[in-house]
Amino acid sequence: SSRKAFGSSASAIAISRRRRSPCDNSAARSRTPAAELSHGERRRLEIAIALALEPKAFLLDEPMAGMGAEGSKSLTSFLSDLRRQAPILLVEHDMDAVFALADRISVLVYGRILASGTVDEIRNHPEVRRAYLGEPA
């Protein structure tokens, strides 16, 4: 449960702020129980907890899962700021977020690498467009 994983409050956000965390509104929310945070705020809290440990890199598995468009945009902005502090290896199906965050992309289909390249190369790759962007090849 989030209470067990995060403790009784979002105070880790305030801790990570000392490391120039991109957590927004952290002071106002630092005493809010984790169970009362929005889905996006919980994602930020999870990352803030990791940030407090001074990681050399972040490995994020589908951080946008379960979010609506606004939450995804907000978390994408948060991660964009975070990548200035440490490299991010991101597994994600939200292609808008991937395109906004990535320097290099590898696209997998059924565990096989379909394509690897820059954002522009992947965005224009015909097989990727068909498999993930819903367009004919």
- The CATH number covering residue 56 comes to 3.40.50.300
Q: Are strands 88-91 and 58-61 parallel, antiparallel or unpaired?
A: parallel
Quote the pLDDT of residue 27: 61
CB atoms within 10 A of CB 135: 10
Assigned domain for 10 exists = yes
Assigned domain for 65 exists = yes
Assigned domain for 40 exists = yes
Question: Domain range spanning residue 85?
Answer: 2-102
Quote the pLDDT of residue 24: 52
Distance separating the N- and C-terminal Cα atoms of the chain: 43
Quote the pLDDT of residue 50: 86
Spans in the chain with pLDDT lower than 70: 1-29, 136-137
CA–CA distances in Å: residue 47 to residues 2, 126, 132: 13, 34, 27
Quote the pLDDT of residue 56: 92
CB atoms within 10 A of CB 44: 29
Rounded-to-integer distance, Cα 94 and Cα 66, Å = 11
What stretch of H or E contains 49? helix 39-52
In the three-class reduction of DSSP (H, G, I as helix; E, B as strand; rest coil), residue 24 is classed as coil
How many alpha carbons fall within 13 Å on the CB side of residue 92? 24
Decide if 75 contacts 63 (C-beta within 8 A).
Answer: yes
Assigned domain for 128 exists = no
Assigned domain for 17 exists = yes
How far is C-alpha 74 from the geometric centre of its chain's CA atoms?
10
Total number of domains constituting the chain: 1
Decide if 40 contacts 75 (C-beta within 8 A).
Answer: yes
Assigned domain for 97 exists = yes
The 3-class secondary structure across 65-84, one letter per residue, is CCCCHHHHHHHHHHHHHHCC
